[in-house]
Amino acid sequence: MTAPPPVRIVRRSRSLARPVRVRLFGVEVSIHFTWLIISVLIAWSLATGAFPRLHAGLPPASYWSMAAGVVIGLAASIILHELAHTLVGRAFGMSVHRITLFLLGGMAELDEEPKAPRDELFMALAGPAASLLLSLVFALAAAALQSIAAPAEAVIALGYLATFNLVLAVFNLTPAYPLDGGRVLRAALWMITGRPETATRVAARTSQGFAGILVLAGVVVAVSGHPAGFWWILIGLFVLAAATAALDHLAARRHLAGRPVRELMAHRVETAPSDMRLEAFVRHRLYATRHGVYPIVEMDRLIGVVEPADILATPRDRWAQTTLGDICAPLDRTRFVAPGEDAFAVLERMRTERRPRMLVIDRGALVGMVTLDDLLQRLALARRFEPEPAW
């Protein structure tokens, strides 16, 4: 599946949940900790449930080796599915900067939306086509090994991988945005109407309805005692969240695009003098104001910014001697925007870079600050007074 630009699954974390990252064809492949958890659960259910029940008579070590092979093959299959999206997207000039394996499968994160419905269509179909091809390859490999009396474990594992890839292809063709089928639906509607906004809105609304049906069906199946119902619920909630995010992204473009940041920024920004000691700043300013960033000035000239994390990185026994100017990040290493920049572009940049606020600087002078909360509140207000079209 491919994801709309605002969706970002992986966070830069210092915890034990930090994703594992590798690079393939110049694209970062990130393995989220939830994928590692679900891999263990899949291997356990296969080795202790499905394999012994369907292929009795093998030693326990065989079941576990088959389960490990299936899980590794499944991860590789999902990565290849997403790489197919990536390579086709590149051929049409689109950029995919990361592929993420997570709880519900894989996701290729687009840096920008397709520029034409044909681009969207071919990119969306590339993933399922790759999965169908992999299903055929695994099925032929299983048949070939069986014909030469190869170990049963290899034949069984390859057969399961063929089935998994077939299911992956069929499921992703479901017309639910942002699954591949939802993107195919969006591309078709785009071709018919010539309006990408209308196509996105209809595809997302359709996906919300599909997600609701899937969640309700999952509840019924789960209540009947079948664990598959919980998966249906999770997938339905994911599709619902993704479709809602697509509608939010569309609304943000509608209400913020074309508006300069100067119309939405806070014009009064609290600064701090460069010669102020950290101990005095924390005691008298930080506790009282609780801002996330403080511009530092020297002789009324902006020289950089300090964040609370910068202070915490300084040993406490040095707070009485260290000034804000000593630890501030200089302007050439500070993210800022110009007052004339497009508010929607700034919102996307803040979401992508995970920055809750940015200084607004005009020719070296601090003229304001824009925060993610301010932009989202402005968007929420506009949506109340200017309702979105139903379709």
Q: Which of the residues are catalytic?
A: 82
Beta carbons of 219 and 229 less than 8 angstroms apart: yes
Encoding tokens for residue 46? Answer: 């296969």
The alpha carbon of 156 is separated from its chain's Cα centroid by a whole number of angstroms, namely: 34
Q: Terminus-to-terminus CA distance in the chain, angstroms? A: 23
257 within 8 A of 344, measured Cβ to Cβ: yes
Q: Are 203 and 186 in contact (CB under 8 A)?
A: yes
Six token digits for residue 22: 């590798």
Tell me the two tokens of residue 164. 């998994």
3-state secondary structure of 371: strand
Q: Count CB atoms within 10 A of the CB of residue 11.
A: 11
How far is the C-alpha of 279 from the C-alpha of 282, rounded, in Å? 5
DSSP three-state, residue 266: strand
Please give the single-letter amino acid code of residue 200.
T
Collapsing DSSP to helix, strand or coil, 162 comes out as helix
3-state helix, strand, coil in the chain (%, to 5): 60, 15, 25
The two structure tokens encoding residue 55? 């292929």
